[in-house]
Each structure stands twice: as structure tokens, then as C-alpha cells.
Amino acid sequence: MRFILLPALASAALALAAPASAQVTRVQSNPQALILDGADVKAGTDLFYLSGQLASPIDPAKSFADVKSIEDLGDTKTQTISALKRIKAILESRDYAMSDVIKLTLFVAADPKLGKMDFAGANEGFKQFFKTAENPNTVARSTFQVAALAGPYFLIEIEAIAAKKR
């Protein structure tokens, strides 16, 4: 018994046998926008989900237990930069980079000095890590004002999702 493999079937068989190529497509309708509309992550892509990260005390000699005021952590911009530095360090320890981040969720508490969340401060901190010379990428992002975070002096918590080709 003889079988003839048609070219279309041969191509399909090769496609099934080949490993899926990883691909992340960043969707941005306005290139000037600070954030993406979304990110399309194809099968075969490695994903890394980071838990929410809080700011570290400004004084590296202090622990979280030593934090007694907002001044120990800084304003929203300062805390955003600190939390993103923590995210960057975690990513690098897993062979990811900030350019691999595709989604951030920001939880922002009201700054007592302003009486509301400091959205502008969070954006100023964000701009130091995204759409820069070092990292021209940006991310899909959601921002929520929350009643409080894990401690009374924390103004922002950031969680992240990173994706990269295998």
C-alpha cells in the first residue's frame, strides 16, 4: 500500500512538529501614549508573574519594622521608583529585564498631604523605567486607588507580568 503525502499536508505536519515560536506583540494605537492598549502573548512564551512589590525604606539600614512615617519611604514618586527597582532586581534574578514587562497593576493609596492618590507622582516614577533610552518599551497598565496598603505609610504597591521568548 502506497501513500502520497500532499504538499499541504506535509507543510502542516512540519508545522506541528516544529516548536511554537514565542511572540509578544505590543499594541499601541498612539505611539506618544505613556501606556499600551494591550499586549498579545502567543503560545510558547515564558511568563513570569510578580507579586505586588512595596517600596523599601529610603535608608537602606532600616527594615520595614523601622518605618514610622511616610518620610521613611518617600512620596508616591519615590515609592514608585523604589518598588520598580525591586521588580527590576527580581526580574534580573530570573533572567528577565524591565523590557520584558508587559503588564503592571498599580495600587495607589491616598497621600495624606494631597488627600487623594498622587497619580502624577506614580507616572513620574514610571517614566524612569519605561519609554527610556535603556528601555524603549512600555506596558499595558491599570491603576487603582485603594483605601490602604499593607502598612500605613505605603503609598503604592506594584505587581507585574513579564513575557519573553523561550
* CATH of segment(s) 20-165: 3.30.1330.40
Domain ranges of the chain: 20-165
The rounded distance, in Å, linking the Cα atoms of 129 and 68 is 28
Task: pLDDT tens for the chain, 166 residues: list them.
Answer: 444 444 444 444 333 333 444 589 999 999 889 999 999 999 989 999 999 999 999 999 999 899 999 999 999 999 999 999 999 999 999 999 999 999 999 999 999 999 999 999 999 999 999 999 999 999 999 999 999 999 999 999 999 999 998 8
Note the pLDDT tens digit of each residue in 58-98.
999 999 899 999 999 999 999 999 999 999 999 999 999 99
Q: What is the pLDDT of residue 22?
A: 52
Whole-model pTM? 0.84
The rounded distance, in Å, linking the Cα atoms of 156 and 133 is 25
Cα dihedral angle (152, 83, 101, 123), rounded to 10 degrees? 80
- Hey, CA dihedral for 30, 158, 48, 137, is it positive or negative? positive
